[in-house]
């Protein structure tokens, strides 16, 4: 130990020196999180008839969910295989049974078993149409994650993003895995910057229908919509308060962009920043006591933090000339943001004091607009690494990058919140 | 003819000078009457069918000339509008300061606006595709505002100018080349006629 100590000391010194100059040492794509091996066995199907699955079979949906969750290493076996599962240290496995039910429906029984004892840890039964089979499996996988990790999974959450349809940017909503995509706006002008209302029932977004950027709120189910904060001519960059549902946004008045916070119901708003510079891209801390945002007061866009009443402003990022669109992790410990270097955009995270910078994407086109999953484990973002802009999901350490859209131009993903009942449970669990 | 005008002007000046004072012998009167008298004299012998047709022809000709004059004015207006709308102000990367080139162009724009007080303009600020949508909206706003401030200093009333930011949403030239980026970092004008 005595011999080792100077070496460790030297190493940590070296890292600090690296951190103070413009070099960021990161292992991109190598996970720093432990994953749990888990077995997946195909669900048994009713013999004699074959079911007409819309896209994937239930065990394929389960595998996709478990993999996307960032928490598991999938051990896929065609049927229960004690040796293979044991060798891979998969202490648990997921399987199920499908039966035909009345009214053209199917009954999906989902099971989580302990590999060695074959004890049933968790069992759920869903009677659904074939079309809703994905939804049933998503729900079960979220229960598995709660059982094994003690936190809610995000398999039942949704994403909204911007998709170019007939050359026009429109808002679309979909399941978090990119399936069940649905177009929300049908305008001849640009729609962009979607975020979810606190109850996940409405989307707040920017529309250019009056030939200038203005915030609207639209009900996902009914399609009814209205303009928000009409006393401003130009409004954008909406961010929803995770506790109250209030909306932080940027508005341009007298040629200057500033931050305001407003209530979407009463339409009342108040100004939060009073600087000579321009402020934009606000984001709330998980307990909504603080706000991070971008200001160009130092001559280039950098990330700042202040109390939610606008006091005690301080700078957070110092490295690089262009740091923008910061978003506070729901776990509270880190922020994710986009940085431009040499004209290319890449995604970074850092601790909330601006230290411990980690680069999550590199050498793969432009990577932009990171959005946290509600459990803080994953980050959705858009990248043009494939030649066109598409939506990807990765773990918060930059590993396990998975593309969830194909074709077209897809940008600016925003993750939904947990369903309301899970929002409370999650907080109780944390405190 | 020239002398008549001189007299007329002189008369006007006298009226102007004496308007406030009490009534005086009108030096103007004979002169003012002289002009219509001459016109009436000229018309007098032509009062017959032929002359009516001639008058009608003259009226039509005058109408045609008037229409032509209006058309020319409209054309000139359109040309001025087109000129304004085709002239873009360019900016350096991530900057909203006006370059010397931009200022030269804006002086010309200011001149057009001075000549045509019916014009109101919308200044649209744009950025290139690099950077975030959010920051580019603020940058586009800063650019259009700089243009408005310059024109305001040049003497154009602020009420005649509206600023809008489109951020990176409306590129003039598609693509990721330096050339495209440079063309897209701009402010352009839309013109409305009151």
A252 within 8 A of A233, measured Cβ to Cβ? yes
- Domain assignment present for residue A48? The answer is yes
At B78 the pLDDT is 85
Q: Are residues B130 and B100 in the same domain?
A: yes
Residue segments in chain A with a per-residue pLDDT below the cut of 50: 1-30, 425-431
Compute the half-sphere exposure of residue B159: CA atoms within 13 Å on the CB side of its CA: 3
- Residue B141: its chain A contacts at CB < 8 A? 234, 252, 255-257, 278
Query: The tokens of B24 are what?
Result: 């005086």
CA distance to A41, A218, A297, per residue, from A197 (Å): 38, 9, 30
Domain boundary among A149, A168, A183: A149
Smallest Cβ distance to A300: which of B94, B133, B144? B94
Q: How many domains does chain A have?
A: 2
Identify any residues that bridge with A204 across adjacent strands, giving them in sequence order: A195, A217
- Which of A206, A210, A280 is the best residue to mutate to test the B interface, defined by the most B CB atoms within 10 Å of its own CB? A280
Q: Are residues A184 and A239 in the same domain?
A: yes
- Domain assignment present for residue B82? The answer is no
Question: Hey, is the C-beta of A96 within 8 angstroms of any chain B C-beta?
Answer: no
Question: Hey, is the C-beta of A122 within 8 angstroms of any chain B C-beta?
Answer: no
Domain boundary among B29, B49, B76: B76
pLDDT tens figures, A408-429: 999 999 999 999 888 864 444 4
At B27 the pLDDT is 46
At B28 the pLDDT is 46
- How far apart CA A46 and CA B38 sit, in angstroms, is 113
Q: How many domains does chain B have?
A: 2
Is the CB of A369 less than 8 angstroms away from the CB of B131?
Answer: no
DSSP string, B15-71: HHHHSSS-----SSHHHHHHHHHHHHHHHGGG-SHHHHHHHHHHHHHHHHHHHHHHH
Question: Hey, is the C-beta of A352 within 8 angstroms of any chain B C-beta?
Answer: no
**How far away is chain A from the Cα of B134, in angstroms, using its nearest Cα?**
6
- How far apart CA A297 and CA A320 sit, in angstroms, is 15
Residue B140: closest CA among chain A residues belongs to which residue?
A255
Smallest Cβ distance to A301: which of B135, B148, B169? B135
Domain boundary among A149, A182, A199: A149
- How far apart CA A415 and CA B56 sit, in angstroms, is 77
- Residue B135: its chain A contacts at CB < 8 A? 280-281, 294, 296, 301, 324-325
**How far away is chain A from the Cα of B87, in angstroms, using its nearest Cα?**
20
Q: Are residues B41 and B134 in the same domain?
A: no
CATH number of the domain enclosing B159: 3.30.1330.60
Tally Cβ neighbours within 10 Å of residue A88: 17
Q: Are residues B60 and B100 in the same domain?
A: no
Domain boundary among A132, A149, A166: A149
At A54 the pLDDT is 84
Q: Are residues B92 and B184 in the same domain?
A: yes
- How far apart CA A238 and CA A193 sit, in angstroms, is 7
Q: Are residues A218 and A82 in the same domain?
A: no
The 3-class secondary structure across chain A, one letter per residue, is CCCHHHHHHHHHHHHHHHHHCCCCCCCCCCCCCCCEEEEECCCECCCCCCCCCCCCCHHHHHHHHHHHCCCEEEEECCCCCHHHHHHCCCCEEEEEEEEECCCCCEEEEEEEEECCCCCEEEEEEEEECHHHHHHHHHHHHHHHHHHHHCCCCCCCCEEEEEEEECCEEEEEEEECCCCCCEECCCCCCCEEEEEECCCCCEEEEEECCCCCCEEEEEECCCCCEEECCCCCCEEEEEEECCCCCCEEEEEEECCEEEEEEECCCCCCEEECCCCCCCEEEEEECCCCCEEEEEECCCCCCEEEEEECCCCCCEECCCCCCCEEEEEECCCCCEEEEEEEECCEEEEEEEECCCCCCEECCCCCCCEEEEEECCCCCEEEEEECCCCCCEEEEEECCCCCCEECCCCCCEEEEEECCCCHHHHHHHHHHHC
Q: Are residues B71 and B92 in the same domain?
A: no
Smallest Cβ distance to A257: which of B94, B138, B166? B138
Confidence of residue B46 (pLDDT cuts 50, 70, 90): low
A25 within 8 A of A18, measured Cβ to Cβ? yes
**How far away is chain B from the Cα of A257, in angstroms, using its nearest Cα?**
6
- Which of B141, B152, B170, B178 is the best residue to mutate to test the A interface, defined by the most A CB atoms within 10 Å of its own CB? B141
Q: Are residues B61 and B95 in the same domain?
A: no
At B32 the pLDDT is 45
- Domain assignment present for residue B81? The answer is no
Q: Are residues B105 and B161 in the same domain?
A: yes
Q: Are residues B189 and B106 in the same domain?
A: yes
Q: Are residues B21 and B102 in the same domain?
A: no
- Domain assignment present for residue A19? The answer is no
Q: Are residues A144 and A97 in the same domain?
A: yes
CA distance to A234, A256, B85, B119, B150, per residue, from B190 (Å): 17, 21, 6, 10, 17
- Domain assignment present for residue A11? The answer is no
A-B CB pairs within 8 A amount to: 81
Q: Are residues A267 and A316 in the same domain?
A: yes
Residue range(s) defining the domain that contains residue A59: 36-149
Q: Are residues A210 and A125 in the same domain?
A: no
CATH number of the domain enclosing A130: 3.40.50.10070
Tally Cβ neighbours within 10 Å of residue A325: 30
Question: Hey, is the C-beta of A368 within 8 angstroms of any chain B C-beta?
Answer: yes
pLDDT tens figures, B151-186: 999 999 999 999 999 999 999 998 889 999 999 999
Query: The tokens of A373 are what?
Result: 């999953």
Is the CB of B135 less than 8 angstroms away from the CB of A280?
Answer: yes
Q: Are residues A169 and A77 in the same domain?
A: no
The contacts of residue A424 (CB under 8 Å, 6+ apart) are: none
- Residue A192: its chain B contacts at CB < 8 A? 133, 169
Domain boundary among B76, B111, B142: B76
- Which of B132, B139, B162, B170 is the best residue to mutate to test the A interface, defined by the most A CB atoms within 10 Å of its own CB? B132
Q: Per mean pLDDT, which range of A290-294, B16-20, B62-66, B134-138 is the poorest?
A: B16-20
pLDDT tens figures, A149-159: 999 999 999 99
- How far apart CA A315 and CA A31 sit, in angstroms, is 29
**How far away is chain B from the Cα of A422, in angstroms, using its nearest Cα?**
31
Domain boundary among B45, B76, B107: B76
CA distance to A193, A411, A412, B122, per residue, from A384 (Å): 18, 9, 12, 33
Residue range(s) defining the domain that contains residue B144: 87-193
Is the CB of B137 less than 8 angstroms away from the CB of A257?
Answer: yes
Say whether pLDDT at B3 is over 60: no
Q: Are residues B66 and B131 in the same domain?
A: no
Q: Quick check: ipTM above 0.90?
A: no
At B49 the pLDDT is 79
pLDDT tens figures, B68-118: 998 998 888 888 888 888 889 999 999 999 999 999 999 999 999 998 899
Q: Are residues B115 and B51 in the same domain?
A: no
- Domain assignment present for residue A14? The answer is no
- How far apart CA B32 and CA B109 sit, in angstroms, is 44
At B47 the pLDDT is 63
Residue B138: closest CA among chain A residues belongs to which residue?
A257
- Residue B148: its chain A contacts at CB < 8 A? 255
Among A286, A338, A348, A293, residue whose Cα is nearest residue A316? A293
Q: Is the dihedral of CA B168, B170, B172, B176 positive or negative?
A: positive
Is the CB of B135 less than 8 angstroms away from the CB of A343?
Answer: no
Is the CB of A324 less than 8 angstroms away from the CB of B164?
Answer: no
Q: Are residues A200 and A301 in the same domain?
A: yes
Helix (H, G, I), strand (E, B) or coil at B194: coil
Q: Are residues B120 and B25 in the same domain?
A: no
Smallest Cβ distance to A213: which of B130, B137, B163? B137
Q: Are residues A96 and A201 in the same domain?
A: no
- Residue A340: its chain B contacts at CB < 8 A? 130-131
- Domain assignment present for residue A2? The answer is no
């Amino acid at each position: 130990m005595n011999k080792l100590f100077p070496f460790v000391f030297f190493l940590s010194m070296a890292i600090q020196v690296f951190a103070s100059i413009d070099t960021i040492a990161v292992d991109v794509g190598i996970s720093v999180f432990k994953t749990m091996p888990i077995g997946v066995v195909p669900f048994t199907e009713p013999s004699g008839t074959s079911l007409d699955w819309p896209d994937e079979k239930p065990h394929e949906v389960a595998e996709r969910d478990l993999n996307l969750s960032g928490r598991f290493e999938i051990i896929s076996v065609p049927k229960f295989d004690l040796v293979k599962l044991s060798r891979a240290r998969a202490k648990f496995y997921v399987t199920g049974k499908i039966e035909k039910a009345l009214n053209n429906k199917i009954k999906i029984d989902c099971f989580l078993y302990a590999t060695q004892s074959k004890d049933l840890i968790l069992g759920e039964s869903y009677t659904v149409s074939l079309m809703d089979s994905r939804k049933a499996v998503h729900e079960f996988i979220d229960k598995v994650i709660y059982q094994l990790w003690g936190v809610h999974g995000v398999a039942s959450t949704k994403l909204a993003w911007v998709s170019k349809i007939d050359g026009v940017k429109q808002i679309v909503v979909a399941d978090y895995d990119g399936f069940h995509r649905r177009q929300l706006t049908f305008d001849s002008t640009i729609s962009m910057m979607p975020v979810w209302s606190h109850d996940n029932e409405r989307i707040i977004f920017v529309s250019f229908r009056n030939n200038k950027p203005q915030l609207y709120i639209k009900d996902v189910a009914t399609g009814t919509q209205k303009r928000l904060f009409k006393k401003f001519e130009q409004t954008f960059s909406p961010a929803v308060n995770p506790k109250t549902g209030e909306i932080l946004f940027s508005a341009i008045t007298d040629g200057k962009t500033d931050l305001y916070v407003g209530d979407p119901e009463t339409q009342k708003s108040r100004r939060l920043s009073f600087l000579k510079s321009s402020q934009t891209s606000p984001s709330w801390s998980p307990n909504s006591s603080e706000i991070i945002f971008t200001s160009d007061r130092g001559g280039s866009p950098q990330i700042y933090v202040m109390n939610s009443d606008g006091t005690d402003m301080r700078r957070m990022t110092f490295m690089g000339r262009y740091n923008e669109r910061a978003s506070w992790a729901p776990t509270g410990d880190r922020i994710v943001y986009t940085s431009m270097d040499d004209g290319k955009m890449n995604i970074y995270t850092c601790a909330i004091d601006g230290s411990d910078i980690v680069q999550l994407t590199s050498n793969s086109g432009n990577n932009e607009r990171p959005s946290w999953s509600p459990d803080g484990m994953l980050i959705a973002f858009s990248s043009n690494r494939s030649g066109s802009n598409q939506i990807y999901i990765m773990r918060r350490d930059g590993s396990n990058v998975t593309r969830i859209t194909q074709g077209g131009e897809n940008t600016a993903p925003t993750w939904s919140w947990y369903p309301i009942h899970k929002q409370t449970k999650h907080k109780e669990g944390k405190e | 003819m020239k002398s008549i005008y001189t007299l007329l002007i002189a008369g006007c000046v006298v009226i102007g000078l004496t308007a406030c004072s009490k009534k005086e012998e009108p030096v103007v009167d004979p002169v003012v009457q002289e002009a219509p008298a001459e016109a009436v004299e000229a018309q007098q012998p032509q009062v017959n069918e032929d002359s009516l047709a001639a008058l009608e022809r003259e009226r039509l000709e005058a109408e045609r000339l008037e229409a032509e004059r209006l058309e020319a004015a409209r054309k000139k207006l359109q040309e001025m509008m087109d000129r304004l709308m085709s002239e873009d102000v360019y900016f350096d990367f991530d900057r909203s300061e006006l370059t010397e080139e931009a200022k030269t162009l804006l002086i010309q724009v200011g001149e057009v606006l001075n000549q045509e007080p019916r014009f109101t303009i919308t200044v649209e600020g744009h950025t290139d595709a690099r950077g975030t949508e959010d920051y580019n909206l603020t940058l586009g706003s800063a650019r259009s505002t700089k243009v408005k401030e310059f024109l305001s200093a040049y003497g154009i009333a602020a009420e005649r100018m509206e600023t809008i930011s489109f951020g990176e949403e409306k590129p003039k030239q598609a693509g990721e080349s330096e050339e495209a980026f440079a063309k897209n970092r701009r402010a352009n004008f839309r013109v409305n006629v009151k």
